[in-house]
Structure formats: C-alpha cells, structure tokens
Amino acid sequence: MDFAERYGPWAVVAGASEGVGASVARLLGARGVNVVLVARRQGALDEVAATVTGETRTVALDLSHAEAASTLAEATADLEVGLLVYNAGADPNMSHFLDKPVEVWQGMVARNCATVVGATHHFGGLMVERGKGGIVLVTSGAAWAGGSHLAVYGASKAFNLLLGESLWAELGPLGVDVLAMVLGQTDTPAFRRVLNGRELEGLADPDDVARDMLDNLAEGPTFPPGPSPFGPLARRQAVEFMTQGSAFLQG
Ligand SMILES: NC(=O)c1ccc[n+]([C@@H]2O[C@H](COP(=O)([O-])OP(=O)(O)OC[C@H]3O[C@@H](n4cnc5c(N)ncnc54)[C@H](OP(=O)(O)O)[C@@H]3O)[C@@H](O)[C@H]2O)c1
C-alpha cells in the first residue's frame, strides 16, 4: 500500500491553522491525502487550506470544549478518515500554577487530554474496522520531567506520550499505526509568541518536523526513538534542568 492508500483518503489535522499542523496539512496534500483542517480561527484555516493540494475541509472548533470530540466526529461523519494528527496543545501562558484561574488549566486538560481521548477513540475505532490507518499524538520533551511553569502542560504531554505508546501496543496489531511524536523547541508562531522577541538558537523547522512525522508513522511508538531526552539525569536533576529552561523562556 502506498501512503495515500494506507492513511487516506482523508486525514484530520487538529491544530492546522499555523506551524507544524499547517506544514503537516500541506505535506499530506502533496502525498495525495485530502485534509480536514481544525483550529479556532476560521480565517487562518482558510489561508492554510488555500495552500494545500487536493480536497480540504475546515472545521473551526475550540478543542477545549467538552463536546469538541463529538462535534469533530459529526463534522467528518461523511468522510473516510484514515489518519488523525492531534497537534494542538502548546501552553501560551507559561505561568505558575497558582497565577492563573483554575479554568485555564482545566481548559488545557480538556484540549490536551479529554478531547484527545474522544478523538482517538472515535477515529481509531473506525480505523480498526477497516484494518488500516494512523494516529499521531504530538507530545514534547516536557513529557519526561516536571518543572516550574510547566505543571499542567508537562502533565498533559506525559498523558499524550503514554496514551500514544499504549495505543501503539493495542492498535498496531490491528493494523493502525500509532506514533507519539516528541517535539523539541520548534519555530512555530505560538513558540515565537512565548519567546516574545528573544532569540533562541537551534529551533527545529516545522516543515522538517512534518516530514519526520509522516516518514516515521509506522516506526512507533515514539519518534525520535531512543531513551529519555535527559539521558542519565536523575529525576530531581531533570526537574531542576526544566525549571532553569522555563526561567530562560520567562526572560
Ligand atoms: N513549538 C515548540 O517549541 C514545541 C515544543 C514541544 C512540543 N510542542 C508541541 O507541538 C504542538 C504544536 O505546538 P505549537 O507551538 O504549534 O502551538 P499550538 O498553540 O499548539 O498551535 C498549534 C495549532 O493548534 C491550534 N489550537 C491551539 N489551541 C486550540 C484550541 N483550543 N482549539 C483548537 N485549536 C487550537 C492553533 O490554532 P488556533 O489558534 O487557530 O486555534 C494552531 O493551529 C503542541 O502539541 C505542542 O505541545 C511544541
């Protein structure tokens, strides 16, 4: 089976209005897969959709809403979705836990955990019925260790990592490729907003991340493969390292 046969005819990209999700949408189009682009801003979705080869559909939706997964299921009910890429998930706040109202963190848990469960259960179930397909959950190096300013974000990324690894073990034998895609610091508009004008060397290019993701869909459970990004660091050292890193991002 070629790529479009295995992961088409349609893919859903959650978080497709900029950055890595937009790059993934364009690359999928180039590989012959039609794309449903999901994010909150209709105008930004339309702009990205205009750059994607093949058929597209846009769904303007806040993935932190309690009914987001069922809304997405309804919006794609007439399509055969062979690939789900759940990319939306960054933390625009980088705040201390107690410095934001609890609703902010609950919204992040809903977007990064509850809606991910709903969407993977829905689309994964349909893929298993067909005996083929793929699911990508985008996670982060922040999944491996806690740190100041990272409490709910890091915990939600650990959720994505372990959910992805577990679904790889469960759904892989049923024909569905699952990948937990671990991003390092990447040059997205959202991360640029966090940097707020500060320069940081070594940011990954979203187009390279998209290519790595799609080229390694069947090479799960995680990409990059290999051990903890913290190598031999003890957990306390890793937490101190993460805390220093987030202090830098605070400026
Ligand atoms: N950039 C990095 O350095 C980095 C590092 C490690 C991991 N990651 C991971 O990579 C993924 C992408 O990160 P990113 O930097 O591109 O930022 P992001 O804020 O996750 O933005 C990606 C996309 O998600 C959409 N989105 C955000 N919140 C949404 C919501 N509530 N409902 C619907 N769509 C929503 C955004 O569009 P709208 O604003 O139009 O909704 C955008 O299209 C995330 O999962 C993040 O955890 C990023």
The more confident residue out of 227 and 132 is 132
The CATH number of the domain holding residue 111 is: 3.40.50.720
| Residues noted as catalytic | 153, 157
How many beta carbons lie within 10 A of that of residue 244, not counting itself?
Answer: 11
Question: Does the C-beta of 15 come closer than 6 Å to ligand 1?
Answer: yes
Per-residue pLDDT of 50-102, as tens digits, reads 999 999 999 999 999 999 999 999 999 999 999 999 999 999 988 999 999 99
14 contacts 87 by C-beta, under 8 angstroms: yes
Which phi and psi (to 5°) does residue 6 adopt? -75, -40
Q: Quote the domain boundaries for residue 30.
A: 3-250
DSSP string over 31-98: TT-EEEEEES-HHHHHHHHTTSSS-EEEEE--TTSTTHHHHHHHHTTTS-EEEEEE-----S----GG
17 has a pLDDT exceeding 90? yes
How many beta carbons lie within 10 A of that of residue 101, not counting itself?
Answer: 9
How many domains does the chain fold into? Answer: 1
For ligand 1, atom 28, which residue shows the shortest CA distance?
88
Q: SS3 of 202, please?
A: coil
Q: Residue 249: its pLDDT value, please?
A: 80
Query: Which DSSP helix (H) or strand (E) runs through 139?
Result: strand 133-140
Please tell me the pTM assigned to this model.
Answer: 0.98
Q: Which residue has tokens 């893919």?
A: 11
Question: Does the C-beta of 111 come closer than 6 Å to ligand 1?
Answer: yes
